[in-house]
Amino acid sequence: MKSAWRLTLALMITFTFAACKSTPEPVDEPAQVEEKPPVQVDTKPALDPRDYTNADNFDNPESLLSKRVIYFDFDKSTVLPQYRPIVEAHAAYLASSSSARMTLEGHADERGTREYNLGLGERRGNAVSGLMSAQGGRGSQMNVVSYGEERPTCRVSDEECWAMNRRVEIVYTAR
């Protein structure tokens, strides 16, 4: 216990000194701290999250390329305005990489019959595929597969869960 007190006291004195001395020096200290991270980043060029031709952005949470699920309204297949930028980002990638291939997996929520929902999932996949084509993706790069209501991500019968399940997942089979 005694030694612990001594250590605390020693630290307090040191901090007090540091606080007194710091006024002219803060410019130097942050510079020293910042010096290390830039060295690491400098080994690669800076990643622009808006560069949708760069495959590194698939794993960059700042980039729209890392977002690969489009959600839909009930019994609708219109791509909502808030999801258009995601579709456009992936379309730009497809346009830049002719060897890239993707499967657009269409899904529906549990309401309604299974076979009708297969149709609905496909219609959603086609809507995303159509928008990507309009933005520069080629038809041959996209394959639409509908799973209807067979592969829910969430299994509770409520609105929140249904909203999670009405979706198209963009799955790259080749980048």
Partner 1 sequence: MVIDNVNRLARRILAFAFLLSLAGTVQAQLQIEIVDGNPSALPIAVVPFEWLEEGYPPIDTVEQIVANDLYRSGLFDPMAVEDMPDRPADAEGIRFGTWRLLQVDYIVIGKVRTPADGQGHEIHYQLFDVHKQERLLSRITTVGPGDLRFGAHKVSDSIYEALTGVPGAFSTRIAYVTATGTGGETHYELVVADADGFGPQSIVGSPEPLLSPAWSPDGRRLAYVSFEQGNSAIYVQDVATGARELVSSGKGINGAPAFSPDGSKLALTLSRTGNPEIYVRDMASGLTKQIVQHWSIDTEPAWSPDGRYVYFTSDRAGRPQIYKVPAGGGNPERVTLEGEYNARASISPDGRKIAVAQGKGNEYRIAVWDIESERFTILTPGRMDESPSYAPNGSMILYATREGDRGVLSAVSADGSVRTRLILSEGDVREPAWSPVIR
Using CB under 8 A as the criterion, which residues of the chain lie in contact with partner 1 when the complex forms? 75, 110-116, 118-120, 122-123, 126, 144-147, 150-151, 155-157, 171-175
For partner 1, give the closer residue by CB, 71 or 116: 116
H/E element holding 80? none
CB of 80 to partner 1, least distance (A): 20
Report residue 64 as tokens. Answer: 């729209």
CB of 57 to partner 1, least distance (A): 14
For partner 1, give the closer residue by CB, 16 or 153: 153
- Contact between 106 and 127 (Cβ < 8 Å): no
Count of H-run helices and E-run strands, the chain: 5, 4
Neighbour count for residue 44 (Cβ, 10 Å): 8
For partner 1, give the closer residue by CB, 6 or 175: 175
